[in-house]
Amino acid sequence: QVQLVQSGAEVKKPGASVKVSCKASGYTFTSYGISWVRQAPGQGLEWMGWISTYNGNTNYAQKLQGRVTLTTDTSTSTAYMELRSLRSDDTAVYYCARVIVTTTGDWFDPWGQGTLVTVSS
Amino acid sequence: DIQMTQSPSSLSASVGDRVTITCRASQSISSYLNWYQHKPGKAPKVLIYDASSLQSGVPSRFSGSGSGTDFTLTISSLQPEDFATYYCQQSYSPPRTFGQGTKVEIK
């Protein structure tokens, strides 16, 4: 079945970087883009960015521009999200999601199980 | 950025109730609207895409309607497994944006 499996929880100090992985299985990795979405404690869902697994093109949320980098390794069907200069308000559960695109729209399905990133001194 | 506003932010309902959640976009988004269900500790799950198309495997008690700026998610007969937070999300233009969520709780 189609599945996205993310790496485990991380604890980082302010100013550090974190890199979360998202390994895809059950489908052709390069046929669908990957988006990343995060949820801070008690907050809603926030879209972070998107990467084309076909050619590596990216699109980032403006508030994260310069701090976030999305990459992929097609040889292992894995997507990565790196966030730098971490702050306490980056504490959140980070999700990857496959992007389904049709002529009438796009949506996220499925999602990874989530990775908790805690930023604390 | 397109702002998505859901109402209510939370609601209490009983098993068997009909539940309606509203989502309003800050500009017209045609039918580029998706609905997700999110339970604590689980990955979000798409219920409805393109405003009214039911995702495969999702029970038929879930339905979506609307176009332009106003959209509705309806659960025709609330079941115990439906207690969760529901989010709308627009796919009309980047950045993709979500509503703030509607938490459906047991009455």
How many of the other CB atoms lie within 10 Å of CB of A115?
Answer: 21
Contacts of B32 in chain A (CB under 8 A): 104-105
Give the sign of the dihedral formed by CA B27, CA B53, CA B103, CA A116: negative
Average pLDDT, integer, range B72-95:
96
The whole-chain average pLDDT of chain B stands at 97
Cβ of B31 within 8 Å of Cβ of A105? The answer is: yes
| Residue B106 banded pLDDT, cuts 50, 70, 90 | confident
A76: phi then psi, degrees, rounded to nearest 5? -120, 5
Q: Token pair of A119, please?
A: 């930023």
Contacts of B101 in chain A (CB under 8 A): 44-45
| Residue B107 banded pLDDT, cuts 50, 70, 90 | confident
Output the pLDDT for position A15.
98
Q: What is the pLDDT of residues B87-98, one digit of tens each?
A: 999 999 999 999
Give per-10-residue mean pLDDT for chain A (121 aa): 98 98 98 98 95 96 96 98 98 98 94 98 95
Give the list of residues 6+ apart from residue B17 with CB closer than 8 angstroms, or none.
B77, B78, B107
Contacts of A105 in chain B (CB under 8 A): 31-34, 49-50, 91
Cβ of A45 within 8 Å of Cβ of B38? The answer is: yes
Output the pLDDT for position B12.
97
Peptide linkage before B95 cis (omega within 30 of 0): yes
SS3 A30: helix
Contacts of B44 in chain A (CB under 8 A): 37, 45, 95, 97, 108, 111
Using CA atoms, how far residue A87 sits from A8, A14, B91, B96, in Å, is 19, 5, 29, 23
Cβ of A46 within 8 Å of Cβ of B98? The answer is: yes
Vertex A14, ends A8 and A19: CA angle to 5°? 35
How many of the other CB atoms lie within 10 Å of CB of B106?
Answer: 11
Provide the shortest C-alpha distance from residue A108 to chain B (in Å).
7
CA A52 – CA A30 distance, rounded (Å)? 8
Give the whole-number percent of chain B exceeding pLDDT 90.
98
> Which one of B32, B94, B101 has the shortest CB-CB distance to A44?
B101
Provide the shortest C-alpha distance from residue A101 to chain B (in Å).
10
| Owner of token pair 């790496």 | A7
Cβ of A105 within 8 Å of Cβ of B100? The answer is: no
Using CA atoms, how far residue A63 sits from A48, A81, A95, B42, in Å, is 9, 15, 18, 26
Q: Are A53 and A73 in contact (CB under 8 A)?
A: no
Provide the shortest C-alpha distance from residue B96 to chain A (in Å).
6
